Structure 1
Amino acid sequence: MSWTKGGAKLQLKIGHLYPDLLDLYSDRGNVIILEKRAHWRGLQVTVDQISVGHEPRLADYDILVMGGGMDREQGIVAEDLQQRRENLQEAVDAGTVIVAICGGYQLLGHYFETSTGQRIPGLGILDIVTVGAKVRMVGNVVGEMDIAGVKHNIIGYENHSGKTMLGPNATPMMRVIKGYGNSGEDKFEGVRQGNIFGTYLHGPLLAKNPILADHMIELALRRRDLSVHLDILNDDLEHRTNAKLYKRLVEAK
């Protein structure tokens, strides 16, 4: 389709939240993938870095990305996010796509309770709670996710000690085929709540799963135009790589 409107290119505005504090396992790679795949389709893309002391209106962004971090950095972010709760809720209500990885995922929930019993309040935007476990859940993950009515194999990497439980208003992002996922018990990974995608998968996730990146871009553009459908890119190499990883991780004895 044409990516111009009134002679001007359609725009995609991405906000990268706390890139200086939350960037475990190259989580910033997710921002790069979103930017590149939009550029390759002729979209005009703007990426802003938003950290402590920056106070833009978050509803002005089409996509917000937040990664994971160490305990100290997550504590700084948790305190700062409390000051942004209404700002972020406004973005949620406006249909902004939010991608929250690991610690970012946990901080959007009701609370995180450490293994010693300390309860750190979250924003309560996601209907989840997280409790610290004594054993870390580490390794490659393969899941099955429904994207626009079609099931796709999603591949990523997890490293977390928090066990996340979903409430009635949150839907699992995918079913776990290999790995731990949210808790290591319910065989679900991540959460999908409206246009929010919360997940423990690093990798970066969107480099390994471009179909998911495109889904997020399309949802973001549809905030303004429901008729938007992305042009198809030549992803033969990406599809072969995904299939090879699936075979190595799931089918290999």
Structure 2
Amino acid sequence: MSDVLSIVSLFPERLNIHGDAENADVLRVRAGWRGIEARVTTITSAQDASGLRPDAITIGAGFDADAPEVLAGLREIADELNAWVESGTVLLAIGLGWEMLSRSLELGRPDPLSGIGIFTGRSVASERHVGRISVDSEWGALTGYEYHLRDYVLGEDERPLGTVASGTGNIGMVQSGAARFEGAVQGTAYGTGIRGPVLARNPVFADHLLELAAAHAGLALANGAPAGPLTTADDHAAKANVIVRRALGLSA
């Protein structure tokens, strides 16, 4: 057991079009503010995964044109990824990264591509959905930006990250009046289309993932009232989210 929290960032040079690769740094910095040293390791090839025992994994969103090549790289480390998540490693997957880790995804071809299968749902072709989003979740209101060309069909053993208060979420074309959901949760694996990056915008959710990662590492986060940069960062996030929710016509 190490006294350093290990965070892995998957293919950040290809999967960072909305700053989603920075979710790894959000976890690292917030861990430091809570008294734990954390280190981010970048994986861009199978060799990079050798010998790692991460406590948290992040993967971001990218362009569809890059998906086949990145998916090939993910398949090379699929056994490691599945073993890590099965051991309780926290996974945060955004946008295309989430879709590639699902059971299958449609990229405008006749047949869907097989994904890595960490998430048991599937990503299906849909219309383009772009704009601000707010989601009611057990960690409060999650806000950010959504940009996706696919819907997500939850697997039988998955639950949604939350309910859409404004925006599209997983399913764009639903019956009028029906609830709309966003994201997928399966064990310690969390998938979402919320970008921004989501952890910088939503510190309560970030701390939830950080606490899971610290528990996996056998490390204790410092307790007590937040102070200094932690307070400042959380205040900025709260103010930004109030602005977004008001712009969406929601209560702050």
Q: What's the TM-score, normalizing by structure 2?
A: 0.88
Q: Are residues 169 and 29 of structure 1, via their aligned partners in 2, closer, same or farther at CA, if it must alter by over 3 Å?
A: same
Q: Distance in 1 between matches of 2:217 and 2:40?
A: 18
Q: Deviations over 1:109-144 (max 9, x none)?
A: 1111233423111011111111112x2011111001
Match of 1:239 in 2: 238
Q: Which residue of 1 aligns with 2:111?
A: 118
Matches within 5 A, 1:1-253: 10-57=3-50, 60-133=53-126, 135-147=127-139, 152-184=140-172, 185=174, 187-225=180-218, 230-233=223-226, 234=231, 235-251=234-250
Structure 1 residues 31-40 or 156-165, which shifts more? 31-40
Residue 134 of structure 2 aligns with an amino acid whose one-letter code is V
**Conserved? CA contact 1:59–1:91, under 8 Å:** no
1:25 match: secondary structure: coil
Look up the SS of the partner of 1:222 in the other structure. helix
Identity percentage of aligned residues: 31
Q: Report the CA distance between 1:57 and its aligned residue.
A: 4.4
Shift in CA distance, 15/230, structure 1 to aligned 2, threshold 3 Å:
farther
Checking the alignment, whether the CA contact within 8 Å between 1:96 and 1:223 is kept in structure 2 is yes
| Contact 1:145/1:174, CA 8 A, preserved across alignment | yes
Show structure 2 runs of 5+ residues with no match.
Answer: none
* 2-structure distance, mates of 1:61, 1:165: 28
CA contact (8 A) 2:61 2:96 kept: yes
Distance between the aligned counterparts of 1:158 and 1:194, measured in 2?
24
* Structure-1 separation of matches of 2:243 and 2:161: 22
Contact 1:99 1:198 in 2 (8 A): yes
Instruction: Provide Cα deviations, 1:185-213, integer angstroms capped at 9, x if missing partner.
Output: 35100001111110111111111101111
1:29–1:231 CA distance, 2 compared to 1 (3 A): farther
Give, in whole Å, the separation in 2 of the partners of 1:93 and 1:232.
Answer: 33
Matches of 1:22 and 1:241, distance apart in 2:
24
Please state how far the C-alpha of 1:163 moved relative to its aligned partner: 1.2
Amino acid at match of 1:188: F
Give the CA deviation at 1:59. Answer: 6.1
- Greater strand content: 1
Displacement of 1:241 after TM fit? 3.0
Q: State the superposition RMSD in angstroms.
A: 2.2
Q: Deviations over 1:44-66 (max 9, x none)?
A: 11111111243424761111000
Range with bigger deviation, 109-118 or 230-239: 230-239
Alignment-mate amino acid for residue 238 of structure 2: H
Structure 1, 218-227 or 28-37: larger mean CA deviation? 218-227
